[in-house]
Structure 1
Amino acid sequence: MILYPAIDLKEGQCVRLLRGDMDRATVFGDDPAAQAAAFEAAGTEWLHLVDLNGAFTGKPENAMAVEAILARVSVPCQLGGGIRDMATIEAWLSKGLARVILGTVAVENPALVHEAALAFPGKVAVGIDARGGRVATKGWAEETDVMVTDLARRYEDAGVAAIIYTDINRDGAMTGPNIEATEMLARAITIPVIASGGISSLADLVALRDARVIAGAISGRALYDGAIDLAEALASLKG
């Protein structure tokens, strides 16, 4: 199972939100590229980046910070937030992103997901963010009647690289991941599933790994708070 350290970007700073609330952001640094370099030095194989402002506005808002990260590290990076048309997808991939994450458009414009996944094999993931099993869009600000598994199944034959499943009520709350829901999703589809939201300890990561069907896990606040030591976690997950 791959561990993806998260760098969430708000107005150029590295932050973490509590349950997706932009007004409840904790700033962990004003140099995201330095943070990315620190994660790389600890041995990470991937980085997970989120343009929080872009998720709300529907267009890239933290491009300078993302580009600085891409210039600083050599590990592959995936990015979500504000990516809602083919031109933006092409632009980010041309700048060196390994993978773009499509969230809102996965609900509102499925054709774009299929088109992008066909055009860029292995470089398109679908982000599914949910409260109580129902998908939320536009930076988690709007809830839909779409159920998580139903949405994921729409992309079974699209060729997407992964599904990133976030339980919004757990995100940034340090209450533990929703292992049951994540495992159920992973068993319901053939697309690799990456867990996000609530991971607060090495034990949480081990539990996700031991489910045997979850391909990856994203952690943010626990790494910044020191609840998880990245180098230790990476070594444990390899063991």
Structure 2
Amino acid sequence: MIAIPAIDLREGACVQLVGGSYDAERVRVNDPLDALKKWRGLGFKTFHVVDLDAALGKGSNLEVISRLLTYEPGLTFTVGGGVRDTARVEAVLASGASFVVVGTRAIEDTAWLSDVALRFPGKVVVAADVKGREVVTRGWTAGSARDVSDVLSVLEPLPLGGLLVTAVHKEGQMGGVDLPLMQEVVRSSRHRIYASGGVTTLEDLRALAEAGAHGAVIGMALYTGKLDAASVAREFA
């Protein structure tokens, strides 16, 4: 399993939000490139970039994303946030992203998701953001009234690059992961599973690795120093 630092973009800065709430910003790094350089210097090679402004229709951080993706050849980036049409999928991949993450429209419009997955096989990662067991959309502000197991069954036949499953109810709170959820998702899907939400300790990472997760996205615990980044990089980068 690989550990993946999160670089969440808001108003041109790298931020960490508690529970995904815009009113609960806890960490801000004014230049996101500084965050990338720090994690890269410790040995991380894969990064998860999210345009929070685009996800909520509040703007775009495309210029910042371009700077991150062109910083150093050979790094792996998953990029998402507000990717809701085919042109944006194509643009993100053309800009140098290894994978494009689609959430809201992927959940709401299966026909469109099938089309882009077939057009870009192995390059599209679907974000299934889970609150309790309900999959939520639109920057975690809207419920879908769909259980995560139902969503997984629909996604199963598609040629995806993976599933990014975020336990929204654990996000940014540094209280540990929702291990039963992640275990269930790994068991239920043939796709690579990237786990997110609540990673706080090396034991959390080891448990996710044992459960069969392909990757774990880490945010708040790295940025606050709660989790020793050098130790994580040695074991999971």
- TM-score w.r.t. the length of structure 2 is 0.95
Which residue number corresponds to residue 215 of structure 2? 216
What is the match of residue 86 of structure 2? 86
Corresponding position of 1:21: 21
CA distance in 2, matches of 1:167, 1:72: 30
Moved more, 32-41 or 181-190: 32-41
Say whether residues 1:175 and 2:164 are aligned partners: no
Partner Cα distance (1:205, 1:107) in 2: 27
Q: In structure 2, what is the Cα distance between the partners aligned to 1:105 and 1:79?
A: 15
Detail structure 1 runs of 4+ shifted over 4 Å in the superposition: none
1:82-121 superposed matches below 5 A: 82-121=82-121
Question: In 2, distance between residues paired with 1:96 and 1:236?
Answer: 27
SS for the counterpart of 1:57 is coil
Which residue number in structure 2 is paired with residue 141 of structure 1? 141
Alpha-carbon separation, structure 2, partners of 1:228 and 1:67: 28
Letter in 2 for 1:46: T
Question: Is contact 2:123-2:161 (8 Å) kept?
Answer: yes
Q: Distance in 2 between matches of 1:145 and 1:190?
A: 24
Q: Is 201-210 or 86-95 further displaced after alignment?
A: 201-210
Is the CA contact 2:27–2:223 (under 8 Å) kept in the aligned structure 1? no
Which amino acid is 1:91 matched to? A
Question: 2:10: which partner in 1?
Answer: 10
1:159-198 maps to which residues of 2 (within 5 A)?
A: 159-198=159-198
Partner-residue secondary structure (3-state), 2:97: coil
Name the Cα RMSD after superposition.
Answer: 1.4
Where do 5+ consecutive residues of structure 1 fail to align?
none
1:199 Cα deviation after fit: 0.6
Kept in 2, the 8 Å contact 1:209–1:237? The answer is: no
Q: Residue type matched to 1:214 in 2?
A: A
Name the residue aligned to 1:237: 236
CA positional deviation for 1:236: 2.1
- Larger relative contact order (CA 8 Å, sep ≥ 6): 2
Mapped contact 2:99–2:123 kept (Cα < 8 A)? yes
Aligned residue type for 1:101: V
The structural deviation recorded for 1:229 is 2.3
Q: Is the 8 A contact 1:206 1:237 kept in 2?
A: no
Counterpart-to-counterpart distance in 2, 1:179 and 1:194 = 13
User: Which structure 2 residue ranges, 5 or more long, are not aligned?
Assistant: none
Equivalent residue, structure 1, for 2:39: 39
What secondary structure, in the 3-state scheme, does the structure 1 residue paired with 2:136 have?
Answer: strand
Amino acid at match of 1:11: E
The alignment's TM-score, normalised by the length of structure 1, stands at: 0.95
Displacement of 1:123 after TM fit?
1.1
Verify: 1:72 aligned to 2:81, yes or no.
no
Deviation at 1:231? 2.8
What is the deviation of 1:26? 2.1
